[in-house]
């Protein structure tokens, strides 16, 4: 394979243009985020001194710090650690993913378990950093995007949306043809996923000569979703602006005027066009209000944040050169003119599609610890469809697989350590030849004590010459399930239910979906006196009683929004509770539509330090 040349000044110019475009689009779309009607903006609806802060850029600054902190071979595990340390956002999938990681879970399980927002835009909006450090190598960009997205979107369309955009943006450092770039993005996502279907449908409608407003209506009709942050519809709106826009400003305006997740659609399209055009071709009327400044939200904290886009660009470029060296990407940085086109062999340099085979219900570990290349042992811990939760006195099965990727036979023992008072497998004999795979079903039984989370440990003991040689230990966690009593409309008796997360699955437990009043009861354990936002989120009419007192009553059908920060106001209560046990009783009235109910204990908006509406992981449903 030949070497492709990338002029270092040109590389800097395109990175800078991408960050500028990101800032412009985010500042344009942020004030109208969530408006779901057709809009008619012609310029920024709100201007301040510089750009408006936006999580679209905030999180990528965190990822840049992660690359500097952990090195360019980082994975979802390190990104999860970085998130817990520096990101205190409660928004939708962010809040659920963070709640899981705070209890010891790691991606992808942490990004999937108990998370109703995995199909949303939180990860597609942070694709640019991976493209900027992998110019002209879309496969590597998509690999990084996957590692990022499974932190809080595992198993959902958010993963494919980020891989799609990262591949496009990476290729855009050498390729400017819009249609070829979109096809490059489609290469790295499954053809049957909702995102790919929405993109292909939009391309067909554009080819048929539909107007942009007609295309918008067709997107909503065939690929729309009531949640304004759903990824497939918003990714299609982003591309709509690109397909129908006559210039930079018209393109980002059309994307925003589609409505829905407007800061995301405009910011991503602005970044793509900024990479292609470079800063000098971005219109002054759009550039001047945002300038070179960076605005970051207060819940992003704990590390040196770049003050300007110039500093951000310089740091991004340094990491990009390191990525090329570590991945052995055949790019030569220098003063010579950049290559005119992207050769197919660089597009095909790395294929990340093998990642699709991995289950989001399982965590994968490489041994020995710290290994980055899979040349030793591969350990897979599969929690199953119910995820990593366990109730009081409950039996759980965990599937464990060991694969020997080395050239030596591994002999010894597999041991499982469980919390005191639990029952579990003591040990299994291990004899694993090169390329051999062994699996076990580990049976675990918890005791009656409930805690927010439970530490366990797998130990792979290696023998040499029949004697102990060394041991590799892998800690992992289970979290507390929720205990309820449930009754359906025709039931005279309560039925006990142990549920894996915060969703009450009436239909699954009671095996009925008839219309009528459904009831749920539990005891909330509050470890210390505190202010709490108690959410009973459902689209159905609902009442909630705490210790016999009515605290929530909503007789109307509403939007279903099980988010910590934007739950339906009439379906939550904010109150101060003393430490101890509190009886919670809920009545939900089911009509013709399915009954979904999430019960969520979170903090209030105003907290001592930036980071509101965080999940109270230590509140137990006993």
Q: Examine the pLDDT at 38 and tell me if it is beyond 70.
A: yes
Handedness of CA 106, 109, 114, 119 (dihedral sign): positive
Q: DSSP letters along 494-522, please?
A: -EEEEESSSEE-HHHHH----SEEEEEEE
Amino acid 123: pLDDT:
98
Q: Does residue 342 register a pLDDT over 90?
A: no
Report whether pLDDT(427) > 90: no
Q: Is the dihedral of CA 141, 146, 152, 156 positive or negative?
A: positive
- Given a cut of 90, whether residue 50 has pLDDT beyond it is no
Helix segments in 280-334, DSSP class H: 284-287, 309-326
Name the more confident of 344 and 240: 240
Of all residues in the chain, the percent with pLDDT exceeding 70 is 100
Measured in Å, how far apart are the chain's first and last C-alpha atoms? 62
**pLDDT tens figures, 567-613:** 999 999 999 999 999 999 999 999 999 999 999 999 999 988 889 99
* Per-residue pLDDT at 46: 87
Give 425's pLDDT tier (boundaries 50, 70, 90). Answer: confident
Mean pLDDT of 34-59: 92
Is 152 marked within a binding site?
Answer: no
User: How much helix, strand and coil, in percent to the nearest 5, is found in the chain?
Assistant: 35, 25, 40
Structure confidence by residue, pLDDT tens digits, 162-207: 999 999 999 999 999 999 999 999 999 999 999 999 999 999 999 9
pLDDT band at 348, cuts 50/70/90?
Answer: confident
Render pLDDT for 483-514 as a digit per residue (tens, 0 to 9).
999 999 999 999 999 999 999 999 999 999 99
Q: Is the pLDDT of residue 295 over 80?
A: yes
54 vs 354: CA distance, rounded Å: 33
User: Which pLDDT does position 610 carry in this prediction?
Assistant: 85
Contact yes or no for 501/389 (Cβ under 8 A): yes
Mean pLDDT confidence for 231-255: 98
User: How many of the other CB atoms lie within 10 Å of CB of 589?
Assistant: 17
Which domains, ranges and CATH numbers included, belong to the chain? 4-354 (1.10.4080.10), 361-478 (2.60.40.10), 482-621 (2.60.120.260)
263 in a labelled binding site: yes
Q: What is the mean pLDDT of the chain?
A: 96
Count Cβ atoms within 10 A of the Cβ of residue 345 and give its class: 0-12 exposed, 13-18 middle, 19 or more buried: exposed
Q: Is the pLDDT of residue 343 over 80?
A: no
Helix H, strand E, coil C: the string for 20-63 is HHHHHHHHHHHHHCCCCCCCCCCCCCCCECECCCCHHHHHHHHH
| Phi, psi angles (nearest 5°) of residue 329 | -80, 130
What is the reported pLDDT for 384?
A: 96
Tell how strand 410-417 and strand 389-390 pair up: unpaired
Q: How does pLDDT run across 555-574, given as a tens digit for each residue?
A: 999 999 999 999 999 999 99
Across residues 542-563, what is the average pLDDT?
97
Over residues 318-322, mean pLDDT: 98
Query: What pLDDT is attached to residue 347?
Result: 78
Q: Do 597 and 562 contact (CB within 8 A), yes or no?
A: no
Q: What is the mean pLDDT of residues 471-490?
A: 97
What confidence score (pLDDT) does residue 479 get? 98
3-state secondary structure of 212: helix
The pLDDT tens digits of the residues spanning 64-112 come to 999 999 999 999 999 999 999 999 999 999 999 999 999 999 999 999 9
What whole-number distance in Å separates Cα of residue 136 and Cα of residue 312?
A: 20
Nearest to 26 by CA among 161, 128, 125: 125
Report d(CA 120, CA 568) in Å as an integer: 19
pLDDT-derived band at 1, boundaries 50, 70, 90: low
Asked whether the predicted pLDDT for residue 393 surpasses 90, the reply is yes
* pLDDT attached to residue 370: 87
Rg over CA atoms, the chain: 25
């Amino acid at each position: 394979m030949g070497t492709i040349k990338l002029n270092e000044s040109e590389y800097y110019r395109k990175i800078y243009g991408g960050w500028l475009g990101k800032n412009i689009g985010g500042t344009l779309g942020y004030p109208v985020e969530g408006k779901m009607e057709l809009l008619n903006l012609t310029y920024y609806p709100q201007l301040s001194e510089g750009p408006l802060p936006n999580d679209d850029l905030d999180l990528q600054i965190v990822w840049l710090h992660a690359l500097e902190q952990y090195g360019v071979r980082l994975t979802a595990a390190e990104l999860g650690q970085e998130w817990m340390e520096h990101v205190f956002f409660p928004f939708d999938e962010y809040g659920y993913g963070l709640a899981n990681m705070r209890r010891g879970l790691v991606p992808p399980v942490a990004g999937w378990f108990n998370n109703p927002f995995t199909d949303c835009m939180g990860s597609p909006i942070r694709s640019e950093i991976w493209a900027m450090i992998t110019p002209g190598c879309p496969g590597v960009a998509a690999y990084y995007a996957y590692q990022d997205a499974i932190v809080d979107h595992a198993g959902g369309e958010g993963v494919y949306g980020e891989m799609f955009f990262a591949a496009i943006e990476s290729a855009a450092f050498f390729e400017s043809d819009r249609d070829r770039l979109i096809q490059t993005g489609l290469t790295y996502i499954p053809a049957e996923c909702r995102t790919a279907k929405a993109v292909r449908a939009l391309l067909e409608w554009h080819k048929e000569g539909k107007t942009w407003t007609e295309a918008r209506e067709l997107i909503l009709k065939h690929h729309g979703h009531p949640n304004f942050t759903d990824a497939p519809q918003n990714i299609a709106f982003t591309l709509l602006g690109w397909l129908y826009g006559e210039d930079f400003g018209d393109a980002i305006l059309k994307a925003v005027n589609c409505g829905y997740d407007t800061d995301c659609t405009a910011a991503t399209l602005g970044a793509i066009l900024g990479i292609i055009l470079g800063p000098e071709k971005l219109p002054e009327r759009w550039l001047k209000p945002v300038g070179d400044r960076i605005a970051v939200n207060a819940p992003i904290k704990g590390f040196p944040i770049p003050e300007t886009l110039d500093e951000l660009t310089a740091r991004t470029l340094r990491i990009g050169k390191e990525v090329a060296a570590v991945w052995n990407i055949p790019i030569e940085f220098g003063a010579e003119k950049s290559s005119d086109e992207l050769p197919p062999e660089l597009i095909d340099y790395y294929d990340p599609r093998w990642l699709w085979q991995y289950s989001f219900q399982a965590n994968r570990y490489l041994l020995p610890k710290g290994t980055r290349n899979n040349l030793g042992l591969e350990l897979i811990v599969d929690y199953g469809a119910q995820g990593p939760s366990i109730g009081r006195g409950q039996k759980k099965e965990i599937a464990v697989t060991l694969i020997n990727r080395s050239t030596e036979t591994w002999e010894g023992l597999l041991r499982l350590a469980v919390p005191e008072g639990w029952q579990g497998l003591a040990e299994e004999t291990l004899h694993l030849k090169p390329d051999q795979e062994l699996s076990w079903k580990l049976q675990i039984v918890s005791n009656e004590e409930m805690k927010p989370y439970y530490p366990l440990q797998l130990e792979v003991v290696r023998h040499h010459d029949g004697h102990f040689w060394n041991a590799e230990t892998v800690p992992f966690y289970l979290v507390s399930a929720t205990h309820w009593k449930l009754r359906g409309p025709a039931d005279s008796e309560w039925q006990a239910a142990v549920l894996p997360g915060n969703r009450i699955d009436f239909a699954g437990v009671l095996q009925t979906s008839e219309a009528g009043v459904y009831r749920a009861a539990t005891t909330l354990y509050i470890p210390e006196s505190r202010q709490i936002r108690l959410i009973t989120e459902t689209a159905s009419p609902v009442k909630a009683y705490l210790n016999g007192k009515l605290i929530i009553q909503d007789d109307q059908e509403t939007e279903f929004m099980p988010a910590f920060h934007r739950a339906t106001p009439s379906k939550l209560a904010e109150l101060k509770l003393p430490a101890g046990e509190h009886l919670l009783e809920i009545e939900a009235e089911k009509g013709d539509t399915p009954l979904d109910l999430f019960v969520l204990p979170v903090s209030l908006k105003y907290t001592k330090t930036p980071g509101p509406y965080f999940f109270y992981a230590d509140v137990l449903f006993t």
